[in-house]
Amino acid sequence: MVDIPAESLARIDQLQAEITDLKDEVNLLRRRDETLKFYMHRLDEELRLAARLQQDFLPKMLPQIGPIHFHTIFRPAGYVSGDLYDVMRLDEAHVAFYMVDAVGHGLPAALLTMFIKNTLVTKQLIPGGYRLLNPGEALAAVNRSLIEQNLTQATFATAVYGIINSKTLECRFARAGHPLPMLLKPNGLLTDLKSEGSLLGIFPDEVFGDYHLQLEPGDRLFVYSDGIEVAFADDQTPADTHQWRIELQNRANLPTEQILSEISGLLDREIGSLTPRDDLSLIAIDVTR
């Protein structure tokens, strides 16, 4: 029988103790990993549920009234979007559209868009019936409601709200710091529609002016969030309105559905399309001939 020196035995005991400690640490890390996976899975499920819920708040079917037809693109940067839009039939002749883009991304921005959606008032009851609020009035009411919440964070949003008379083709809209809507004529002429109005949630008594536009058969009106400008930008250019305009003008002779299909294809091929830098929404309003 070989005698093992006491020093070696002590060393063996020390190593066994260290191995036991390592096993305990590994088991602890494994339990922590399993706990983390559980909570990450639950968070993922909650975010997926929030995404489905947000999709439920988008219009299931876009109302088509007379010659006025709507087409949309909605692409969140993450699970949920800080953009939200709606298209609403107000009465037999009028249809309304709006788009809001809250500052930031993710759940906080999505919650803000839902609040704005719920505060948007389109009609006012009067003796004998109702009247449609002018777009500027509607945005002013949203702005007041947002400021009255006295939110703890500096929270604001951009928005566009408009009304179209399907019989006369008159369009009125108001803008709150949102990218300028663009009118695409059948001959390819693309025009920015400039109207004044600051961001929602900044100035309590802000006035939002109404822009009046007489649409004609063959016109296309594009309302979009700034995410589409960012999508066509490179790392050196924060937002490229020029490139976005070019993409539209190059497709002026195509049907609106095909324009949006090709724009979606371009977005899919952009670098970073799997991890976009910003939420993106687009409403295309087509006045058929």
Are 183 and 108 in the same domain? Answer: yes
Percent residues over pLDDT 70 in the chain = 91
Considering the chain, what percentage of its residues have pLDDT values greater than 90?
Answer: 48
Same domain for 109 and 229, yes or no, is yes
Residue that wins the pLDDT comparison between 155 and 225: 225
Residues 64 and 167 in one domain: yes
Give residue 224's pLDDT.
95
The pTM of the full predicted model, rounded to 2 decimals, is 0.84
Task: Give the model's confidence band at 196: pLDDT under 50 very low, under 70 low, under 90 confident, else very high.
Answer: confident
Give the domain range for residue 210.
58-287
**Total domains in the fold of the chain:** 2
The band of 238, judged by pLDDT with boundaries at 50, 70 and 90, is low
97 and 206 share one domain = yes
Do 46 and 91 lie in one domain? The reply is no
Q: For the segment 93-146, what is each residue's pLDDT rounded down to a tens digit?
A: 999 999 999 987 788 888 889 889 899 999 998 998 899 999 999 999 999 999
| Judgement on whether residues 257 and 150 belong to the same structural domain of the protein | yes
CATH number at residue 78: 3.60.40.10
10, 40, 57 - which closes a domain: 57
**Are 81 and 106 part of one and the same domain?**
yes
Domain stop point among 39, 57, 75: 57
Domain termination residue (choose one: 29, 57, 85): 57
Asked whether residue 112 falls in the same domain as residue 175, the answer is yes
Q: What is the pLDDT of residue 79?
A: 87
Residues 2 and 98 in one domain: no
Residue by residue, DSSP assigns the chain as -PPPPHHHHHHHHHHHHHHHHHHHHHHHHHHHHHHHHHHHHHHHHHHHHHHHHHHHHS-SS---BTTEEEEEEEE-SSSS-SEEEEEEE-SSSEEEEEEEEESS-HHHHHHHHHHHHHH---EEEETTEEEEPPHHHHHHHHHHHHHHT--SS---EEEEEEEEETTT-EEEEEEEBPPPPEEE-TTS-EEE-------BTT-TT---PPEEEE--TT-EEEEE-THHHHHT--TT-S--HHHHHHHHHTTTTS-HHHHHHHHHHHHHHSTTTTS-SS-EEEEEEEE--
Same domain assignment for residues 109 and 153:
yes
Query: Do 34 and 62 sit in the same domain of this protein?
Result: no
Same domain, 105 and 34: no
